[in-house]
Amino acid sequence: MHRSTTRALHCLLPAAALLLSLFCPLSAAADGWHARIPDDAGTPRRLVAVDKEDQKLHIYERHSPLKLAASYVCTTGQATGDKQTAGDLRTPEGIYFVVNKLSAGLDMEMYGGIAYTLNYPNPVDKLRRKTGSGIWIHSKGHDIVPRETKGCIALNRADIDKTGKLFVPGTPVAVAGDVSTDASPPKEDKATARKLEDKVKGWAKAWGSRSPAMFDYYDPDAYSAAQDESFAAFRTQKERLFKQLAWIQTSISDVQVMQGPGYWVTWFNQYYRAPNMTTEGIRRLYWQPDKKGEYRIVGMEWVPADVGMEANYLETVSPQVTAFVEKWRKAWERGDVKNYIACYAGDAEQAPRKGAASIRQQKQELWRKAKPAKVQLKGLRIEAVAGGVRADMTQDYRDVTGYSDRGVKTLLLRQDGQGWEIVKEEWSPAAR
Question: Residues 154, 140: contact at Cβ < 8 Å?
Answer: yes
The number of CA neighbours under 13 Å toward the Cβ of 223 is 20
Question: Residues 343, 327: contact at Cβ < 8 Å?
Answer: yes
Give the CA distances from residue 415 to residues 43, 274, 324, 381, 420, in Å, rounded to whole numbers and listed in that order.
Answer: 38, 9, 11, 17, 4
Residue 106 CB neighbours (<10 A): 19
The residue type of 300 is M
The number of CA neighbours under 13 Å toward the Cβ of 235 is 16
DSSP state of 141: S
| Integer Cα distance of 336 and 331 in angstroms | 5
Residues near 342 by beta carbon (within 8 Å), at least 6 away in sequence: 331
Question: Residues 246, 414: contact at Cβ < 8 Å?
Answer: yes
Question: Residues 405, 428: contact at Cβ < 8 Å?
Answer: no
Residue-by-residue DSSP string for 350-392: ETTEESHHHHHHHHHHHHHH--EEEEEEEEEEEEEETTEEEEE
Question: Residues 60, 70: contact at Cβ < 8 Å?
Answer: no
Report the catalytic residues: 138, 152
Residue 98 CB neighbours (<10 A): 22
Residue-by-residue DSSP string for 259-311: EETTEEEEEEEEEEEETTEEEEEEEEEEEEE-TTS-EEEEEEEEEE---S-HH
